[in-house]
Amino acid sequence: MTIAIGNDHAGTEYKFEIIKYLEKNNYTVLNFGTDNNDSMDYPDAIHPVANAVENGKATFGIIICGSGNGAQMTANKHQGIRAGLCWNNELVTLTRLHNDANILAIPARFVSVQQAVGFADIFLNTAFEGGRHQTRVDKIKS
């Protein structure tokens, strides 16, 4: 499975730790984020992640910025994207179970690196529940 990841300067450390987890678990990684802490504009890293997921080059995406809000807003501009902003395990689980999110947005300034790695694990290992939720997800793109 291929995972696209993108981050701004606030998420560099988080990205590197998540990539370690992904590679250890045999995921292929497409890295669209910055590799340093120099200030950069998050849309420059987030649009390529959303494009990769939308075009089928990646199964899922993980995006990281300071609050997670800008990253999520940017990703959700893409028609085929359902990015969920999550800051605890329950939200991560529900964004997959109920919303079939295909991108996880992480707020680096509000969670620890260890939490973020755990979020990636939960996100990638939780299946969409379907059922009554499918009708709701289908209405998102309307």
Active site residues: 98
Q: Please count the structural domains in the chain.
A: 1
Which residues 6+ apart lie within 8 Å of 73 measured at CB?
Answer: none
Cβ atoms of 107 and 68 closer than 8 Å: yes
Residues of the chain with pLDDT under 70: 142
Which CATH number belongs to the domain containing residue 24 in this structure? 3.40.1400.10
CA nearest neighbour of 131 among 102, 99, 104? 99
CA 99, 105, 109, 114 dihedral sign is positive
CA nearest neighbour of 98 among 74, 131, 62? 131
Which structural domain, as residue segments, surrounds residue 20?
2-140
The Cα 135–Cα 139 span in angstroms is: 7
**What's the predicted TM-score (pTM) here?**
0.97
Angle subtended by helix axes 12-24 and 113-124, to nearest 10 = 40
pLDDT of residue 142: 63
pLDDT of residue 65: 98
